[in-house]
Amino acid sequence: MYIKSLLFACFLLFLGGNYVTAQDYEYIGAAKCKMCHNKPATGAQYKQWADSKHAKAMESLKGDEKNDPKCLKCHSTVGHVDEDLIASLKVEEGVSCESCHGPGSGYKAKSVMISREKSIAKGLIIPDESTCTACHNEESPHFKGFNYEEYLAKVIHPVPEKE
């Protein structure tokens, strides 16, 4: 009887542990990011993104390209996301915040975002060169080389330091 109870307890622990570690975050779309990241005092990241080529990436596709999975995987966040993880993300957003920073449902709350560590624990990705080169690479028919430092300078959008 003791062994059965012990095995059952281990089974429950295993299930519970997998549930917690396998939690999937959902993609919520740039409009949700805009709510906090649109003010000059916090860096106006949304406006910077909205004025960028990333936000307009879908506009560069023509005809059948707009439905081609090979094109969509890099021209829209939706193109590389499992459908069941999409809460309110739209293909028209192009390469949105969550292409680089990961699905926002876990870290969108201000109580989480005030802490970099909490945000990362809730799914925030701090992008690096490999994040960019997932799309900016030789697989693209329009690839003309990619200098990470040069392009990073064009898209960087830090949160201003508090004085």
pLDDT digits (tens, 9 = 90+) for 68-95: 999 999 999 999 999 999 999 999 999 9
pLDDT at 163: 64
Residue 92 included in any domain: yes
Residue 163 included in any domain: no
Residue 104 has pLDDT above 90, yes or no: yes
Residue 17 has pLDDT above 80, yes or no: no
Q: Are 75 and 67 in contact (CB under 8 A)?
A: no
Angle at 127 between CA 47 and CA 77, to 5 degrees: 60
pLDDT at 19: 39
The domain total for the chain is 1
Q: Which helix (H) or strand (E) holds 97?
A: helix 97-101
First to last CA, the chain: 63
pLDDT at 11: 44
Q: Is 79 helix (H, G, I), strand (E, B) or coil?
A: helix
pLDDT at 31: 96
Residue 63 included in any domain: yes
Residue 145 Ramachandran class (φ > 0 left, ψ -120 to 50 alpha, else beta) = left
What letter would DSSP give residue 57?
Answer: G
Q: What is the pLDDT of residues 112-157, one digit of tens each?
A: 999 999 999 999 999 999 999 999 999 999 899 999 999 999 999 9
The CATH number assigned to the domain holding 37 equals 1.10.1130.10
State the residue for tokens 């996301």: 81
pLDDT at 161: 82
Please count the helices (runs of H) and the strands (runs of E) in the chain: 9, 0
Q: What is the pLDDT of residues 27-53, one digit of tens each?
A: 999 999 999 999 998 899 999 999 999
**In this predicted model, which residue has the larger pLDDT, 134 or 161?**
134
pLDDT mean over 57-78 = 96
Tell me which residue range forms the domain holding 76: 24-155
Residue 16 included in any domain: no
pLDDT at 23: 57
pLDDT at 119: 96
Q: Is 158 helix (H, G, I), strand (E, B) or coil?
A: coil
The closest of 30, 14, 31, 34 to 22, measured between CA atoms, is 14
